[in-house]
Structure 1
């Protein structure tokens, strides 16, 4: 890499003066001026501004950065580039280099400038002075003044800015002037006093040569330093007095004196002066080559020593600068001394030497002055890469715009680099120039140019979100690879491979070779072969997004980790940070880490405000809104919707489509399906135009779902038919999952349960395989219904239950009949009491937990419905007075909530406690729910379904309701009812089996009933009848004996006459 050129040294190096008269009068004025942050010194050329400030800094021993403003600073990236070098030189040990004003920062120039100067000033140890010399060189309409204004606004205590200009401050500084942040030193203060004039004459050793006419000459010159110095150099005053009798301008006076001096100078020195005047800053070694004068270094040193309008700077190498007035005179003089051809040769040689020494802007300026377009074209091609790295795109474009159109359009590398320069500011024109360059390169057989310009077209197309153009360029690459089967370098091969993936992933994800192309990109990123950091990050971003849409979250995680690596170092580039955090937000959404998605998105938005980089802002508002919608956080969603809506006018089309898609989702969650359809139509219109295939396909599936919500099954079916070929060709687990879920919804609407189940199996199989737990258009109620259906059918139970828990899919109407539902809390009350939390049985010991659990049991016995504090207190603390009972209730409820760990499960509202059934599965409730469903199916003639439901209900009854609390008043009624229903349904179910001549099942049913309740005489009776019917007399007798024994022990009663009669029948 090229080291910093003498040009940059000259631009940020303070002049060194010799034989200078210290102007104490002005020094005191400056002392006073520096009480304000900014001092503006303005006066005509030659009024001694630079000399004054340089000598002031020397005499006051003030450290400084001296910045030489020139026309190139109209591209403010130049200012930031050179100020970065100056800061590094001034404070080499203080932090990372200041940022370059690269294209991503340019839309937020104000924010960038404020932060830049804040960082710059933080590195400078007060007292410190920043000097801006020749400020007038930049035109009044340039953004340069706005940027410098922000520097003025950020000046801290102990730091001062001194500006030297031929003009007063431009209009951009009006507020600073009004706010009294500026001090001014004008021409009235800069004029030499008589005493100062005398001091300068004495300094030149001429005090004895000036007669009484000196006073008149001083008045005529008007205190102008340059005029006085020239007068002193000329030597004769008589002729001068006569010449000054007429009214003369300062420029006329200067030219007169300069001409006199020039004509008296040695011809070899004159030739050196004229030729080197085309260099704004003169290096002795270059002056020697340009003038072919081996004494150039000595001559320049003598000119400086004699104060011959030549200032000297030094920073590793001596550099000389002619005073601007003197240089202007010399350039005009050269135009008259040399003929046109010789002059052109001098300027061409000077341009080449300037470029060789790294002074590119000066070389380009000379080419433009002489209309040497071919030389300028070569300079641009050679130096554009460096300038673009520095963010100086505008400078390159300004040079290119100077070229004749035929030269530009016929030079492919000019088209290429101008395309690269326009990439951020005008990506459409950028793509056009890359395209023209590609066509010429291809016709010329320039392999490197062909591949680089093809990559440029792809990059610009992605930047403009015009993915629909990709297929043609993918095909073009196939043709080019046949023409150039071997790459000229591995770097070119890597770049093409990654851009080929980008083109295919965004514009043609169903390409026949997508898997091969993707694997190649994945391997290149993982093996560290991508040396270009920008290419690595952009390819990683695109690959991660592609893998997310593929549903390949495991490999997406690998890429996210890879591109995160460059951000781990302290002070990582803000643009890189924002890009990586954007991918992290998208990945977090895909993996259902919704809080993390919000966190990363808000970090990007915060960085956007701080840095002024807004390219990722709209997209991250979208990611944050998506996370809020998936979480069901209406407050955050509302705020983000407003922010996205406000940014809709100036955003990219892909961001606009994203906004409409999210708005459709928002309205779908509100069940405003007409608005949902309208926003989806807007999103699809943009999506189809730009050709971003994967999201567009997802939107098509969402539109099918919306039609189903609106009752339009035919339109829904057509949407799915249109989406299916895309889904299949892209082989995307993500798209396939949402397709099959929607197809299942369609079959449910059609009443086709077998097809509904089949689609559900396909969907959840993919979800389980790829651990997909979130997607756009997630609707909790619909997913809850689908998960219920899946568990009823035994589909991917582990995955579905995990999904329910993670997404908290608690249905409005509790599916109490589905024991496999992943209830946060499962309470077993039939038989021995058991409390299961998140699949784990809680162990209880001691009396501390007895009363809290009793509240829970009592609430269940009372149906979980609202009960007042007083009602529960009376049941559990019947012997305590009202206040004591209620206080005991509050303390015990608190302990119960601590025990179950789910505050929402037990809610206390306005003194009324109830159980939220979405959080509880209770076997007693499930038992009754299943029996109710069985009855409904039986009444509907669905006997088989009724039998299945009854069997499931009976299997839940593993003992009588809270047997250990049989004496509790709150338990008696429900225990009696449940026991009765159990016996009744055991008998009924066995009766149905007998009706079907299935005595074996009937006997098993009776026996299970007796295992649970060995005192149920009705079951004994029916069992004995079944045995007798089957001819099993001995079994009937055993059943009677068991009945007689258990009744005697348990109830101390004999068997009923009916039971005895059955026994007697068995004996016969």
Structure 2
């Protein structure tokens, strides 16, 4: 139905024979940049001829312009069609960035302003391009509330200095234009009447056909009332155009008395076509019609020649000729004229105008066939609103037919998903699946799609699954694609809406088997939903990752609807969240936001924000988590209202990750209350695990109820994510209540579940809290291997109170006492001893002996490269830090506030542990037993001098200080002990073994003999 030729509405008039009016050109030229030039005048005043000559006559740089001519009509009130036609006109211009201009789809309509800004910004971005001149003709034909009237000021705001936009209308600017543009940028040209001082323009452009004198020009001005349409009509014209509207249609024969009867009949046969080529006039009225039209073309006020060779009737003449046809043609001939013109327009892709003519010709069946045959193509092309208008033209009995109602519901789905869902639900429940299998299945699948369009997963999906079960047997004889679509629809509804259903495993298998057979447009969205099911409903990270990777080639394809691509981004972001890959997650989020902005569907980014809030909270980026939460709240508040659990759930998750358990409990209670009303088991489970974990973290016995409900739901839904959270909550509660023996067992069970799942991040994760629990688990005898695996999986940091269990698995460990060694994840690595590797090691040794603040960059540069000036030394330091990171890992070294230090959350040194033990040994506030443990640890750690053989001044100084501190603090502690206690003697012996050259103070020498 779509012609490849440029429609006549996008073709400017041929300038030959038109007058270039420099008085008006000067007004256009003086308009300030980024203004909207509004030319308003009655019909026949010369609006189109002024714009056409300005475009074509080469005024200033006009010959270099990219000219866009767009004659608007009622159909262009649909913004999707508006941008489609505009893009089609731009596509013919050399160098235009047409591939970067997206099609406006119905999904983007709520974000139309953003879409338009981005669209015009992309079009006009290149500053080296020729200037654009946009001419929008017949703007008055748009309804006052039409969206393109609000788009025109957006275009004006994106113009560059030499660009212009002209609007030609019979009316003053609409309220939407006046409200958007300041008066200084809305230039109105209202007086188009010809002035006497324009004589030279008319003499120049009309003098070739007749010698025009000033007196003749003045006489014509008076006769025409200064209107250009009547001024330029040849003297043989029978009637001024401005008086044509007052001539009754019944005077048609009188008006065309010089035409033959055959020419008059041929002309009437073309009455309903406003613009066309010679062959189109001939198709409607034969050779006589062509002759009549060509003859009329000589009277330039009645027809205008377009630059593509087509002829266009003036609006007044077009309306008058239609009225004449209706008044003079016999009923059969009138019906034939409408029918033939309607079919011709349909062939050109002018659906609404063509359909109206067919209906006026009583060809209702043809329009019905058009709707049925073209519905999917129109929806695929984003012409949903046009399809809805076509449907409203049909008789009520036809509109009530199931096939038409299904097309209507699918057309409404992108921008009214809830209304479409209600339509689909009513339809499939009213249909007989055995007799009307195809329609029944389309309606079932439509309801599922509508529910998933805004994640409205509730009991209605459960009802759909239950009620459509008998239909599986009733459609066995239907074609395979019909059965296939029903199976896919039910499987999606079951997996996402009722995951506790016993048939979920078979539905899951059927969906995976069917997925490769689906068309790409459905495959991407369905596969992305399946990936999300794996990641959130099941807890199968590898299956979700496989789906995301397998679907990646479909992302960004031109034939893929933008919402399908966005659904892939949701799934890919979920994989990055579960992987704990913050860098990938932020990159995907930026890509999704840019993609949504390009297509004007930023209002559909709520799920991205939902994932981001949980991920940022889990990684400890609480400010970023709150930002994502606020973004989510803005989006869902705009698109879905407040009565959903999502905002409360995210507040609970963010609070739980930050350790604010009271707020987490309050928000989770509210979220659960809303979820219970919807009846969706997944939503109920999400809120229950947050509530249970928060209650358990404060020792609330109510957690037991939440945990039991969550376990029961996890079992029925086969949801390993819920099971893990139940295990965590159990461990939390035992730990908080001091039931440490039970805690150790529950921790081991939780650890096994976490290692099976392999999620590096989970919702509500509080890493510092989990780190303390892991340390306590090690201290109380938990399975070391499982606990260490959990610490590594979740990247837990040791408690910051200094009492870290010896078995805590630091990824990076340095041994500096009595020698030097580097261990990465338990494996000793070789550190090169060559000259090239020496400086990174010297840097490392200085960082090892530094305090918790590290070492200033200036001091490091001075110590390591005293021979270099400041800038060269700092540059060399940066290079050396990079090389050291390559050796021990990028995260092992931190640069903050002009200082460099080791990251003590993942790096441990025996020197640092010794320093901590010495501090505890010397702390008189601690019980003597604890100081004794510290004494034993000091002697166990001290295997020899600090970094022996290293001659750096700072290392030598710290080596001597450490040896002195060890002796003095150890002896000071020994002085507090009972000399008669055998353990005291053992400790003295250990101290002398560790420091054989030590000299005992006289007091101790008198108390203990060497043999002691």
TM-score, scaled relative to structure 2: 0.79
Call closer, same or farther: CA 1:58–1:800 in 2, change over 3 Å.
same
2:377 paired residue among 386, 400, 415: 386
Call closer, same or farther: CA 1:756–1:406 in 2, change over 3 Å.
farther
1:797 paired residue among 785, 802, 817: 785
1:458 paired residue among 426, 448, 451: 448
2 CA distance for matches of 1:519 and 1:84? 43
Call closer, same or farther: CA 1:962–1:257 in 2, change over 3 Å.
same
Q: Identify the residue that residue 565 of structure 1 maps to in structure 2.
A: 553
1:510 deviates by: 2.4
Call closer, same or farther: CA 1:215–1:751 in 2, change over 3 Å.
closer
* Contact 2:465 2:490 (C-alpha < 8 Å) held by counterparts: yes
1:182 paired residue among 183, 187, 198: 187
1:516 deviates by: 3.3
Give deviations 1:343-362, integer Å, cap 9, x for gaps. Answer: 34542343234324432121
Q: State the SS of the aligned residue for 1:467.
A: coil
1:504 and 2:504 correspond:
no
2 CA distance for matches of 1:182 and 1:772? 61
2 CA distance for matches of 1:217 and 1:907? 86
1:144 paired residue among 111, 128, 148: 148
1:155 deviates by: 2.3
Q: State the SS of the aligned residue for 1:129.
A: strand
2 CA distance for matches of 1:330 and 1:356? 23
Q: Identify the residue that residue 355 of structure 2 maps to in structure 1.
A: 364
* Contact 1:397 1:421 (C-alpha < 8 Å) held by counterparts: yes
1:746 paired residue among 733, 741, 749: 733
Call closer, same or farther: CA 1:227–1:814 in 2, change over 3 Å.
same
1:707 and 2:707 correspond:
no
| Residues 111-150 of structure 1 mapped to structure 2, 5 A cutoff | 111-121=114-124, 125-150=129-154
Give deviations 1:921-958, integer Å, cap 9, x for gaps. Answer: 757699999999xxx9999xxxxxxxxx99x9899959
1:147 deviates by: 0.6
1 CA distance for matches of 2:244 and 2:210? 24
1:614 and 2:602 correspond:
yes
Q: Identify the residue that residue 707 of structure 2 maps to in structure 1.
A: 720
* Contact 2:342 2:358 (C-alpha < 8 Å) held by counterparts: yes
Call closer, same or farther: CA 1:98–1:910 in 2, change over 3 Å.
closer
How many pairs were matched up?
Answer: 941
* Contact 1:834 1:841 (C-alpha < 8 Å) held by counterparts: yes
* Contact 1:98 1:116 (C-alpha < 8 Å) held by counterparts: yes
1:430 deviates by: 0.9
Q: State the SS of the aligned residue for 2:167.
A: strand
* Contact 1:65 1:90 (C-alpha < 8 Å) held by counterparts: no
Call closer, same or farther: CA 1:808–1:179 in 2, change over 3 Å.
same
| Residues 570-589 of structure 1 mapped to structure 2, 5 A cutoff | 578-589=566-577
* Contact 2:385 2:411 (C-alpha < 8 Å) held by counterparts: yes
Q: State the SS of the aligned residue for 1:729.
A: helix
1:777 and 2:760 correspond:
no
* Contact 1:64 1:129 (C-alpha < 8 Å) held by counterparts: yes
Q: Identify the residue that residue 588 of structure 2 maps to in structure 1.
A: 600
Call closer, same or farther: CA 1:601–1:640 in 2, change over 3 Å.
same
| Residues 5-24 of structure 1 mapped to structure 2, 5 A cutoff | 8-16=6-14, 20-23=17-20
Call closer, same or farther: CA 1:691–1:320 in 2, change over 3 Å.
farther
* Contact 1:132 1:163 (C-alpha < 8 Å) held by counterparts: yes
2 CA distance for matches of 1:769 and 1:985? 55
Q: State the SS of the aligned residue for 2:193.
A: helix
Q: State the SS of the aligned residue for 1:232.
A: coil
Q: Identify the residue that residue 175 of structure 2 maps to in structure 1.
A: 171
1:474 deviates by: 1.9
Q: Identify the residue that residue 954 of structure 2 maps to in structure 1.
A: none
Q: State the SS of the aligned residue for 2:432.
A: helix
Call closer, same or farther: CA 1:852–1:382 in 2, change over 3 Å.
closer
Call closer, same or farther: CA 1:202–1:441 in 2, change over 3 Å.
farther
Call closer, same or farther: CA 1:220–1:900 in 2, change over 3 Å.
closer
Call closer, same or farther: CA 1:698–1:127 in 2, change over 3 Å.
closer
1:972 and 2:967 correspond:
yes
* Contact 2:278 2:310 (C-alpha < 8 Å) held by counterparts: yes
Call closer, same or farther: CA 1:745–1:287 in 2, change over 3 Å.
same
2 CA distance for matches of 1:251 and 1:110? 39
2:263 paired residue among 250, 254, 269: 269
1:67 and 2:70 correspond:
yes
1:788 and 2:775 correspond:
yes
Q: State the SS of the aligned residue for 1:90.
A: coil
Q: State the SS of the aligned residue for 1:130.
A: strand
2 CA distance for matches of 1:274 and 1:116? 43
| Residues 355-434 of structure 1 mapped to structure 2, 5 A cutoff | 355-367=346-358, 374-409=365-400, 411-434=401-424
Greater radius of gyration (CA): 1
1:601 deviates by: 2.6
1:94 deviates by: 4.3
* Contact 2:424 2:443 (C-alpha < 8 Å) held by counterparts: yes
1 CA distance for matches of 2:79 and 2:24? 32
1:260 and 2:238 correspond:
no
Q: Identify the residue that residue 47 of structure 1 maps to in structure 2.
A: 45
Call closer, same or farther: CA 1:433–1:403 in 2, change over 3 Å.
farther
1:728 deviates by: 1.1
Long gaps (5+) in structure 2: 857-876, 949-958, 995-1007
Call closer, same or farther: CA 1:472–1:929 in 2, change over 3 Å.
farther
Q: Identify the residue that residue 800 of structure 2 maps to in structure 1.
A: 812
Q: Identify the residue that residue 729 of structure 1 maps to in structure 2.
A: 716
Q: Identify the residue that residue 274 of structure 2 maps to in structure 1.
A: 280
Long gaps (5+) in structure 1: 870-890, 940-948, 990-1005, 1017-1054, 1060-1068
1:635 and 2:634 correspond:
no
Q: State the SS of the aligned residue for 1:649.
A: helix
1:110 deviates by: 1.6
- C-alpha RMSD over aligned residues: 5.3
1:657 and 2:645 correspond:
yes
* Contact 2:115 2:599 (C-alpha < 8 Å) held by counterparts: yes
Give deviations 1:854-903, integer Å, cap 9, x for gaps. Answer: 999999xxxx999999xxxxxxxxxxxxxxxxxxxxx9xx99x9999999
2 CA distance for matches of 1:778 and 1:816? 21
| Residues 227-376 of structure 1 mapped to structure 2, 5 A cutoff | 227=230, 232-234=235-237, 251-252=245-246, 260-291=254-285, 293=286, 295-305=288-298, 307=300, 309-313=302-306, 315=308, 319-340=310-331, 343-367=334-358, 374-376=365-367
* Contact 1:288 1:297 (C-alpha < 8 Å) held by counterparts: yes
1:801 deviates by: 4.1
Q: State the SS of the aligned residue for 1:478.
A: coil
Q: State the SS of the aligned residue for 1:968.
A: helix
Q: Identify the residue that residue 525 of structure 2 maps to in structure 1.
A: 538
Call closer, same or farther: CA 1:497–1:983 in 2, change over 3 Å.
farther
2 CA distance for matches of 1:865 and 1:78? 65
1:161 and 2:184 correspond:
no
1:213 deviates by: 11
* Contact 1:87 1:120 (C-alpha < 8 Å) held by counterparts: no
| Residues 575-974 of structure 1 mapped to structure 2, 5 A cutoff | 578-605=566-593, 607-608=595-596, 612-647=600-635, 649-652=637-640, 657-713=645-701, 715-748=702-735, 755-788=742-775, 790-791=777-778, 793=781, 795=783, 797=785, 800-801=788-789, 803-804=791-792, 807-822=795-810, 824-825=812-813, 836=823, 838-841=825-828, 920=908, 922=910, 957=940, 968-973=963-968
Call closer, same or farther: CA 1:559–1:653 in 2, change over 3 Å.
farther
1:478 deviates by: 2.7
Q: State the SS of the aligned residue for 1:161.
A: strand
1 CA distance for matches of 2:709 and 2:376? 46
1:467 and 2:457 correspond:
yes
Call closer, same or farther: CA 1:59–1:675 in 2, change over 3 Å.
closer
Structure 1 stretch displaced more, 459-468 or 119-128? 119-128
* Contact 1:764 1:796 (C-alpha < 8 Å) held by counterparts: no
| Residues 96-107 of structure 1 mapped to structure 2, 5 A cutoff | 96=99, 98-107=101-110
1:790 deviates by: 4.9
